[in-house]
Amino acid sequence: MATLQGKGGVSEHYAPAANAQGSAEPSEPKHAHGSPEFVSDSGDANTSEGAVTSVDELEASKRGRFAYFKTREFYIVLVLGQILALCLTSTNTFSSLLVAEGTSIPAFQTFFNYVLLNIIYTCFTLYRYGFKRWGRMVLKDGWKYLILAFLDVQGNYFTVLAYRYTTILSAQLINFFAIVTVVIVSFLFLHVRYHITQVAGILICIGGVGILIGSDHLTSATAPLNPISKGDQVKGDLFALLGAFCYGLSNVAEEFLVSKRPLYEVVGQLAFWGMIINGVQAGIFDRAYFRSATWNGKVGGYLVGYTLILAMFYSLAPLMFRLASAAFFNISLLTGNFWGVCIGVKVFGLSIHWMYPIAFVCIIGGLLVYFVGRKVLGEATKPWLGRNQEGGVTGVGTARRRVVKGATVV
């Protein structure tokens, strides 16, 4: 889910991932449009002039507890996180507006997103690989992307479904459960080890969300557009919880895949399988709601806005997974609660309590604390790729790209 080229117009290349025995898989014949194998511009990535040969050499270039703060990548990650938070808040707002118009079609609503992503990224993958190579990739790795797409579709489905029964901010607040899922799964299966400052940063961010919850309890700032019973509120919260769990699993899976494969392949396959799964699910569960839904110019505009912003979100999120991690990605999204109320002031007539700016500053402070003590590469180095990231792709945002070429990320 990211741009296909960096600012310098350098397209990403693919490094063959190591198999279970540690040996690289043999490369396949190159297609006329270009090969996804890992090569440098000069043909030999490891011997290009000025190349950095190890992670240790690169990380030794800047020292100190605030080494990562001195890099451009830190500010890119920080800003990118807020752009993603705004995108997510905007899609949540469109979901609430659709429900207010009498249109609640959680599966069908995200179908157009997968179609749009499929048109963009699968077509580009076919251009790069050719039909035969694409087919072999699907036969070999399609099951991985099928699982990723299933988790992503269910995350979208249950999150959108939650807005039928609960308030916009209630659903957003529950999304912090995705953080717990990401941290536990990353620790157990990807062998990620969190520094004390990272744990502190996560807790500070969650504390900021707690301030938001407290202010909402005092002011009732998140009153729903339509009256919601306690039973429906509980049902909606449970759907939001299930959606957050699926999102957490899909985030970890996507971080793993984009570290090893080209972005256009991952997003293209996610969209390809997601379109099929989502289409079937919409046909089964949304038929009755589709017939009874309100269809007018407003609903059409809301669906277009939802689709375009969600497609942008899907295109930018993998950059965050490469530059940082699924954990930082999720704590960055916590500021979406603040942005949600800011948007709600205009759209839903909500009011901003004086505690909201404090909560926002608290969350941003947690994001800063998270990176204290990190070295130059931050979280771009992935423990499952080897010390020098030799098992990964050398694409935009990866540590492997910087290790091999000594280049900036974008």
pTM: 0.81
Residue 216 has pLDDT above 70, yes or no: no
Whether the predicted pLDDT of 117 surpasses 70: yes
Instruction: Give how far Cα 122 sits from Cα of 116, 134, 178, 245, 265, Å.
Output: 10, 9, 28, 27, 7
Q: How many Cβ atoms are within 10 Å of 138's Cβ, its own excluded? A: 16
Q: What are the tokens at 275?
A: 């379109």
Type of residue at 303: L
In this predicted model, what pLDDT tens digit does every residue of 43-94 receive, in sequence order? Answer: 333 333 345 458 878 777 777 788 899 999 999 999 999 999 999 889 888 9
Pair of tokens at residue 265 = 């392949």
Q: Is the pLDDT of residue 8 over 50?
A: no
Q: What is the pLDDT of residues 292-324, one digit of tens each?
A: 888 999 999 999 999 999 999 999 999 999 999
pLDDT at 55: 83
Partners of 24 in the beta sheet?
18
Amino acid at 107: A
> Residue 154, CB half-sphere, CA atoms under 13 Å: how many?
17
With a cut of 80, say whether residue 37 has pLDDT above it.
Answer: no
- Residue 203 CA: distances (Å) to CA of 179, 247, 366: 10, 20, 7
Q: Give the model confidence (pLDDT) of 310-360 as tens digits.
A: 999 999 999 999 999 999 999 998 888 778 777 777 776 766 778 888 888
What is the pLDDT confidence band of residue 124, given thresholds at 50, 70 and 90?
very high
Residue bearing tokens 């942008």:
312
Mean pLDDT value across the chain? 81
Structure tokens of 249?
Answer: 């699993």
